[in-house]
Structures are given as structure tokens and as C-alpha cells.
């Protein structure tokens, strides 16, 4: 087996004129050798690889060739498991999650259970109803290094029932006070994934809220914790909103002050900022190679949605122009779906995950009505 030895004196890697040592040019052309030579390596900031914003390349003597970066640790995971009616640890996530969303796919019609490390494991909210957060000790009991642990709660661990769990990583449960907005928020953010968990207490007036991301959120899912209230979702068009616990299309209302989020804040009116009430918001923006949010128009016939840049394992779809449910398609239960807004168990539906997107079949008003506009959220 041939080996390659890299030798020579150590040199300043930023030294543009040096002809010895290992060169890894990056940044501007001023720091790159004038002539390409076989064996050179460079960091191409115009080419992404495995979720990284740049890509290592080498010169073969004829052309620059991509060296795929080592894949970054996952920050999103969807997984299937079976309840045992007692206690158990769910592993194989690959990271310590900060937001865990659990839904039964068989057995009884249990609610969706949302738990996050900002509120703490005993606080649950349910995407299919408008009730306030409840304190329960037997659903998610801890966030662990490679997953999470469960108690005997029926919503997450009924004996013999099948479940899905969707897991996101934020900041390991470490929150910080954010004063970017007019109302101080408590934030933990995963800027590389484009995901943050934001908690704030209402002041009774219109306000801006710091979200902790480096780019403007494309999706915000908001819920009042301390009283019964419908869920609110902002998505791409900030003059309108959706209700994740309902079926209506986009509604025109001044929920977001008709103002798009910025790279530091999102805005709410007083009805989403009731004095003394606590709120939780989940904020997302697309992250190259990991997540993509957008819209498409249904055709009524088989319709391939492309341009995601990855093969998704999880897709949520909602019609924005007609009254429909919110289906979620997961690779963990192929050709089935669950609904965000109902407690129904999994239902059969053919839904191919493609290398650069997904395909919605013909004749489904839920995903592909002719001329209907749909919102999608997709994760790798």
C-alpha cells in the first residue's frame, strides 16, 4: 500500500508566496496560489458539504474535486418505539434532545405530547388542543445523552402501543436572557440547525421578542402556557397565521403586527402578549443540508417537490388556502401519517421520500389538491 508523507518546514499557512509546506487556501483569492498544482487542497466557501457551509477540495491536476466533510452530529431525529407501561429509556437519538414531541401511532387516540428542556420535563402541552400546560411526572422524565427516559404515562408509554418521537437539539438545556426585543425572553438556540426555544411573559401590549437565531425565522409556533388558548403559527407570510390545533387555512389577522421577523426578533400584538401570561415559541429557519421550509402548488396528479438539497426523513404539510388537517410523514412509519391537530393514530398513505425532496400522490386534498397552495416543513 502506497503512503504519502507530508514533510518540509512549518510555514505560515496565510503566506501567499510560500512554495513549501501544506497549503489550505481559504477566503479571498488574494490568499490563494496563482497557479493550481496537483495535490493542492483548498476550502471552497461557495460549495456546501454535509451540512457545512463550505467544502474541502483537492486539485487532481485537471480539476478541483470535492472531499466530503465528515457529517456533523445530527441535531434532529425521528424514531419509532413501543411502550412498555412502566419505565424505559429511548436511545439511539445521537444527542441530548431539548424538544421531544411524542405521538402514539396505534392503540388509543392519545394526544401529542410536547416537552422541552426550557419548561422542564414535568410541563406538557398538546398540539391537538388549546388547553394550558399541565404538570405531569410520568411522561418524559429526563433528557439523556443519547435520548430520553419515560415514565408510565399513557400518552408516551402505554404497554404495547406504538409511538413516534421527534427530537430537536437546542442548547443542551442551557438558557440565557435575551434583551434584543422590547420584552425580555429566555432563549436557548441551536444556530447551526436554525432552531430556538423562546419563553417570555406577556406585558399586555404589542412587543418584539428576541429569538436567539442568526437568521430570521421562517416558522414560529407559539402557545400560551398559563391559560387555554389556540396555538398560533407564523409561516413565511407574516400578515397571516395558522392554527396548528385546527384545520382552517391562512387567516388574515394582525397576530405578528404584519411584520416579518428579523435576524434578532419577532413581533406580537397584545392578544399574543397578555399581561402576566407565559408563552412558549418554537422558531425555525432553513439550514442547508438539514431542513427546508417552503410552499408548493398542488396539481391534482403525482407531484414531485424538489430543491430541498437532501432526502428528508420527516415532512409536515398544511394547506394554506383550504380547510385541511396537518399530516406528518415520517420515515419511521413509511407510507403512513399522523395529524398534528388530532389524536388519531397512524393512517395509511403512500408518500415517497426522494433524494432531493418528496412526492405527493394524486387526488389528495390534504397534500395535492389542484391549484391549492401548501406549506411544508422538512427535516433530514
pLDDT tens digits, one per residue of 129-178 = 999 999 988 899 999 999 999 999 999 999 999 999 999 999 999 999 99
- Return all residues near 28 (Cβ < 8 A) that are at least 6 apart: none
In this predicted model, what pLDDT tens digit does every residue of 301-337 receive, in sequence order?
999 999 999 999 999 999 999 999 999 999 999 999 9
| Rounded-to-integer distance, Cα 37 and Cα 53, Å | 25
Would you kindly state where each structural domain of the chain is located, as residue ranges?
1-72, 76-168, 176-284, 291-379
pLDDT of 23 above 70: no
Cβ atoms 346, 293 nearer than 8 A: no
Cβ atoms 139, 153 nearer than 8 A: yes
Q: What is the CATH number that goes with domain 176-284?
A: 2.60.40
Class of residue 8 by CB neighbours under 10 A (exposed 0-12, middle 13-18, buried 19+): exposed
pLDDT of 50 above 70: no
In this predicted model, what pLDDT tens digit does every residue of 270-309 receive, in sequence order?
888 999 999 999 999 999 999 999 999 999 999 999 999 9
Phi, psi of 155 (to 5 degrees): -70, -15
> Whole-prediction pTM value?
0.82
Handedness of CA 188, 122, 286, 67 (dihedral sign): positive
Handedness of CA 114, 282, 375, 191 (dihedral sign): negative
Cβ atoms 228, 131 nearer than 8 A: yes
Amino acid at each position: 500500500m502506497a503512503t504519502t508523507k507530508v514533510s518540509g518546514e512549518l510555514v505560515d499557512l496565510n503566506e501567499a508566496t510560500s512554495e513549501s509546506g501544506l497549503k489550505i487556501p481559504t477566503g479571498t483569492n488574494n490568499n490563494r496560489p496563482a497557479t493550481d498544482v496537483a495535490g493542492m487542497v483548498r476550502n471552497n466557501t461557495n460549495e456546501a458539504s454535509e451540512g457545512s457551509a463550505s467544502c474541502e477540495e483537492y486539485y487532481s491536476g485537471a480539476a478541483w474535486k470535492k472531499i466530503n466533510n465528515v457529517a456533523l452530529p445530527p441535531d434532529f431525529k425521528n424514531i419509532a418505539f413501543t411502550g412498555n407501561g412502566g419505565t424505559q429509556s429511548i436511545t439511539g437519538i445521537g444527542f441530548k434532545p431539548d424538544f421531544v414531541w411524542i405521538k402514539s401511532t396505534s392503540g388509543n387516540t392519545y394526544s401529542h405530547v410536547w416537552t422541552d428542556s426550557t419548561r422542564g420535563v414535568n410541563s406538557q402541552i398538546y398540539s391537538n388542543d388549546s388547553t394550558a400546560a399541565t404538570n405531569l411526572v410520568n411522561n418524559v422524565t429526563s433528557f439523556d445523552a443519547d435520548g430520553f427516559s419515560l415514565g408510565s404515562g399513557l400518552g408516551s408509554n402505554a404497554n404495547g402501543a406504538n409511538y413516534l418521537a421527534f427530537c430537536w437539539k437546542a442548547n443542551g438545556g442551557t438558557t440565557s436572557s435575551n434583551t434584543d426585543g422590547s420584552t425580555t425572553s429566555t432563549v436557548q438556540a441551536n444556530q447551526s440547525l436554525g432552531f430556538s426555544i423562546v419563553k417570555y411573559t406577556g406585558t399586555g401590549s404589542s412587543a418584539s421578542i428576541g429569538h436567539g437565531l442568526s437568521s430570521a425565522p421562517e416558522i414560529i409556533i407559539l402557545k400560551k402556557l398559563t391559560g387555554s388558548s389556540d396555538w398560533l403559527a407564523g409561516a413565511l407570510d407574516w400578515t397571516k397565521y395558522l392554527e396548528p390545533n385546527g384545520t382552517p387555512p391562512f387567516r388574515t389577522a394582525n397576530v405578528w403586527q404584519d411584520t416579518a421577523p428579523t435576524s434578532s426578533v419577532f413581533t406580537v400584538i397584545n392578544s399574543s402578549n397578555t399581561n402576566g401570561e407565559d408563552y412558549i415559541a418554537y422558531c425555525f429557519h432553513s439550514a442547508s443540508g438539514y431542513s427546508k421550509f417552503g410552499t408548493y402548488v398542488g396539481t391534482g396528479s403525482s407531484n414531485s417537490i424538489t430543491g430541498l438539497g437532501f432526502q428528508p426523513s420527516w415532512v409536515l404539510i398544511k394547506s394554506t388556502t383550504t380547510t385541511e388537517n396537518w399530516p406528518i410523514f415520517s420515515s419511521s412509519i413509511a407510507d403512513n401519517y399522523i395529524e398534528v391537530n388530532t389524536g388519531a393514530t397512524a393512517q395509511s398513505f403512500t408518500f415517497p421520500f426522494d433524494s432531493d425532496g418528496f412526492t405527493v400522490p394524486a387526488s389528495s386534498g390534504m397534500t395535492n389538491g389542484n391549484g391549492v397552495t401548501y406549506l411544508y416543513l422538512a427535516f433530514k
